[in-house]
Amino acid sequence: MVYLGIDIGSLSCDAVIIDSGGRILAWTVVPTGAKNLEAIERARREVVTMVGIEPEAIAAVVSTGYGRDRVADRLSSVTEISCHARGIIALLPGTQLVVDIGGQDSKAIRLGEAGRVVDFAMNDKCAAGTGRFLEVMARVLEVDIGQLGELDSSARESLTLSSTCTVFAESEVVSAIADGAELSEIVSGIHRAIARRTVALAKRVAPNLTDLKVAMSGGVARNKGVVRALGRALEVSISVPPEPDIVGALGAALIARDKATRAS
């Protein structure tokens, strides 16, 4: 028996197929674009092809993410909070706080025994401190977004962005470029701005971070500069799974397996 989890977000649609033992058989991350139904079907088709099965062989599908109710033939739709909690515990057992920075929102989730969600906080009103924020900044700096993680490694001192608003921060970056600031300093300042915003979110659910096991999920966790900046700001070591993008989809797949097993 195989089970499918689909996480449909603003920037990407992620899909994971697992077997009955929870082993990942296939995964994919495709751009959501303007037509999320097409992204959902493409992601589903890709993982099914990777495993070499017919779509009818999938025992159950659970969806998550902002577009979760658009996934056809789903057993149920589940919140991102539950799915990221379940997925991160499967990949990094013992995690007590997971910070998920996605395309247009960010979340801090406090976990208790057996990965149970104890508390969570979300920033879903503003794109500042998210993947969209990084996209805007990369465009202003005329660099590929994938380069940002390494660009600040040579920074001697960081530029400070006073605004956490994407629009105003963009103006600050443009001014810094005009003033001749080093690219590495600007990028480091951008990462520190994300970290400052995320720290406030994390401390709402975990005021005392001492000795907590902290992890990151979401596509922004691939940016090593953001991970470094957040780790320094929180004064903790942050673990990142090998494929942080698919944590939510993995959690959805595991929940699909559990729900289908209980129903049988």
Q: 58-82 pLDDT, tens per residue? A: 999 999 998 899 999 999 999 999 9
H or E element at residue 87: helix 80-91
What whole-number distance in Å separates Cα of residue 12 and Cα of residue 30? 5
Residues 67 and 99 both lie in one domain: no
Q: How confident is the model at residue 154 (pLDDT cuts 50, 70, 90)?
A: low
Range of the domain at 39: 2-86+246-263
Q: Are residues 119 and 196 in the same domain?
A: yes
Same domain, 204 and 229: yes
Closest CA to 71 of 118, 97, 32: 32
For the chain, the domain total comes to 2
* 48/169 same-domain check: no
Structure confidence at residue 246 (pLDDT)? 96
Residue 44 has pLDDT above 60, yes or no: yes
Confidence class for position 208, pLDDT limits 50, 70, 90: confident
Instruction: Look at residue 250 and tell me whether its pLDDT is greater than 60.
Output: yes
Contact 43, 86 (CB under 8 A): no
* Burial letters 97-135, b for 16+ CB under 10 A, else e: bbbbbbbbbbbbbbbeeebebeebbebeebbbbbbbbbb
For the ranges 5-14, 96-105, 158-167, the lowest mean pLDDT is seen at 158-167
CA dist 200 and 213 (Å) reads 18
The upper half-sphere exposure of residue 4, i.e. CA atoms within 13 Å in the direction of its Cβ, equals 32
| Same domain? 41 vs 104 | no
